[in-house]
Amino acid sequence: MNDRLTQPEGLQAFAGGDVFVGATQLNDPDDDHAGRGRILQYDSDLNLKGVLWVEGTTHLVYGLTFAPDATLWAFDPWAWVAVRVTRDGRQLPNRQFAQRAFSMVHFLKDGTLLFTEALDGDNQPVPLTTRHPVLPGESSKLGDGGIYRFDAEGDLLKVYDPEVHGGMSGSMAITHSVMSADGDSVIYVSETGSRLMRYDLVNDRQLPDLRSYADAERQMYFDLASVSSGRLLICMGNRLDLLSESGVELRSYPLEGFGWSVISTSPDERYAYVGNWFSGQLGKFDLEDGQLKAMTQVCEKCMAGMAVNPGPAITD
């Protein structure tokens, strides 16, 4: 791995518009997704502000998102832990809600927590050298591809059984997801898969895909972000697609090269921050004129999650 970062120590107090990236320092010659967990902090123009060396993780740091109390959450789907960082940059003790590979948490209006499962079935990724742990009591199963609702104390309330695509490995389940504008459904993808799927939480049922392709078309979904008016901004590897929540394409933004796979938006939704898995580039993309406004280099094959702090700087 070519890691070009100059490392400051620790994170600074979170400011509105700060960009946080899960970028594990991959340093295990026997496992291409393993290494020292790391969260990078950038300002809104992608100047590096800080680095948190994450304790208690073993592999990629996934699914960054902010809780209503401004705590930053992230996940290691190999170690089965949720990472939490306070708004002044301190890591809290990790939590394990279940012995499963969770990819993201959504904080619902009623105070419950909705976790999405990254894996389904028993196909280990090939030709990658990483190997996912098997579920307790199973001989080869990596996950069930479910959605799990917990209360704030960590008690499981309900399990939903959505459809998943599997992606190129066949075992990808809900790798990236957002909530619908009304909060009633989860909109999600199986990374490298060809379906943009939806699950109705209120009626506990699968909804028709928002958009899908035949696998032979080699169109791949990666990360997605929700923006105002029920719209979705989706990484398609070599472009960003802006869709209505009914699946109508509103605009498409071409990107140079392939591998653009993580995304978050600025608080005013003027900019999208996008990361390229293969090249290690992190860019600030203007959604009005379609131009890159800033670019920095992180490291190849390490970025697995991103979140922009929506709130103002802390003052207390």
- With respect to residue 8, please indicate whether it lies within any of the assigned structural domains: no
- With respect to residue 146, please indicate whether it lies within any of the assigned structural domains: yes
Domain extent at residue 176: 19-224+262-269+300-308
Phi first, then psi: give them for residue 188, nearest 5 degrees.
-155, 165
Domain count, the chain: 1
- With respect to residue 134, please indicate whether it lies within any of the assigned structural domains: yes
- With respect to residue 7, please indicate whether it lies within any of the assigned structural domains: no
Six-digit token string for 47: 């100047």
pTM score: 0.96
- With respect to residue 181, please indicate whether it lies within any of the assigned structural domains: yes
CATH number for the domain spanning 81: value is: 2.120.10
Interatomic CA distance for residues 68 and 70, integer angstroms: 5
- With respect to residue 63, please indicate whether it lies within any of the assigned structural domains: yes
Query: Which pLDDT score is estimated for 312?
Result: 77
- With respect to residue 71, please indicate whether it lies within any of the assigned structural domains: yes
List the pLDDT tens digit at each of the 316 positions of the chain. Answer: 567 666 677 999 999 999 999 999 999 999 999 999 999 999 999 999 999 999 999 999 999 999 999 999 999 999 999 999 999 999 999 999 999 999 999 999 999 999 999 999 999 988 899 999 999 999 999 999 999 999 999 999 999 999 999 999 999 999 999 999 999 999 999 999 999 999 999 999 999 999 999 989 999 999 999 999 999 999 999 999 999 989 999 999 999 999 999 999 999 999 999 999 999 999 999 999 999 999 999 999 999 999 999 987 654 4
Structural Rg of the chain based on CA atoms: 18
Interatomic CA distance for residues 138 and 292, integer angstroms: 47
- With respect to residue 234, please indicate whether it lies within any of the assigned structural domains: no
Query: Which pLDDT score is estimated for 314?
Result: 55
Query: Which pLDDT score is estimated for 4?
Result: 61
Query: Which pLDDT score is estimated for 126?
Result: 85
